[in-house]
A and B are shown apart, each in its own frame.
Chain A
């Protein structure tokens, strides 16, 4: 009985590691260079440094995370109010890039800033 439990536990651990590997593996597809993707970001700050505005922090977060994907902003960062910002990037992103970009934007990249992605969808 003890060995059965150990074998089941080992099998579950192997399956979990394999699933995590698949979830974090980069698999890229061909992207139309003329395609675009829209990002709507909700940005919040906590104990921000004096003189640093929410716009600057949102732009810094965006410019930091766009280095992890192949897309670049093709429109200015538009302030939608209430801490929400919109920007269009080109070309669009495949599924892996979208997950990586979303993960970076929602990660702890810059101190005093947290962001959540409200929309990240191809347009046009």
Chain B
């Protein structure tokens, strides 16, 4: 049966190739394409069969003593149930999920905190600085220079323009 299959595949390949060449020689392009497709299919089939046959030859021969094999199978250790925690009547699964969920949530929270620290903190600082501007002390401080102090201390000097001048000089600082 295998020989018939091999012969059929090989004959298909050769006849397809022959007709493809003949069709090309006759300028019959559609026929040439069709036979080329047949050749390609046969080629892929034969190549696959060859590879499978070679793999079959490479496989180890089964010269195993059945008694030894049976003894090994009988003394096989029980397979450990590595997924016992998934049993519905076990509470370990909740602990596992809680711990795992906690780790994941902590990671997400850390990531959010890092992003917020790098984005909102500088912006908040700038906004606070702008808000503190109107209530900040005047530039140069509240102290006035000696001349202004002496001028203000002159007895009987109660002039509104002088007081305005003194306030302005007091805000201007000791330049």
Chain A contact residues, CB within 8 Å of chain B = 16, 20, 23-24, 99-100, 102-104, 106-109
B118 within 8 A of partner (CB):
no
- Residue B30 at the chain A interface, CB threshold 8 Å: yes
User: B24 contacts which of A23, A100, A108 (Cβ < 8 Å)?
Assistant: A23
Interface residue ranges of B8-24 to A (CB < 8 Å): 21, 24
Q: Is B28 part of the contact surface with A, judged by Cβ < 8 Å?
A: yes
**Helix, strand, loop or mixed for chain A's interface?**
helix
A/B interface sample: 22 pairs, CB < 8 A: A16-B21, A20-B25, A23-B24, A24-B24, A24-B25, A99-B26, A99-B27, A100-B27, A102-B26, A102-B27, A103-B26, A103-B27, A103-B28, A103-B29, A104-B28, A106-B26, A106-B28, A107-B28, A108-B28, A108-B30, A108-B31, A108-B34
Prevailing SS type, chain B contact patch: helix
- Let me know if A20 and B27 touch, CB within 8 A: no
Inter-chain contact count A-B, CB under 8 Å? 32
Binding site for A on B (CB under 8 A): 21, 24-31, 34
Cα distance, A24 to B25, chains bound together (Å): 6
Q: Which residues of B contact A103 (CB under 8 A)?
A: 26-29
Among A24, A100, A103, A104, max chain B CB count under 10 A is at A103
Nearest CB in chain B: distance from A66 CB, A: 15
Q: How many Å lie between the Cα of A118 and that of B38 in the bound state?
A: 29
Q: Cβ of A108: which chain B residues have Cβ within 8 Å of it?
A: 28, 30-31, 34
- Cα(A89)–Cα(B47), bound, Å: 49
- Least CB separation from A107: chain B residue: B28
What residues of A have a CB within 8 angstroms of the CB of B34 in the complex? 108
Contacting B29 at CB < 8 Å: which of A16, A20, A102, A107? Answer: A107
CB-CB nearest in chain B for A22: B25
Residues in B with CB closer than 8 Å to A16 are 21
Partner of A104 from the list B21, B24, B27 (CB cut-off 8 Å) is: B27
Q: Which 10 A-B pairs have the closest CB atoms?
A: A103-B27, A107-B28, A108-B30, A23-B25, A103-B28, A103-B26, A107-B30, A100-B27, A99-B27, A107-B31
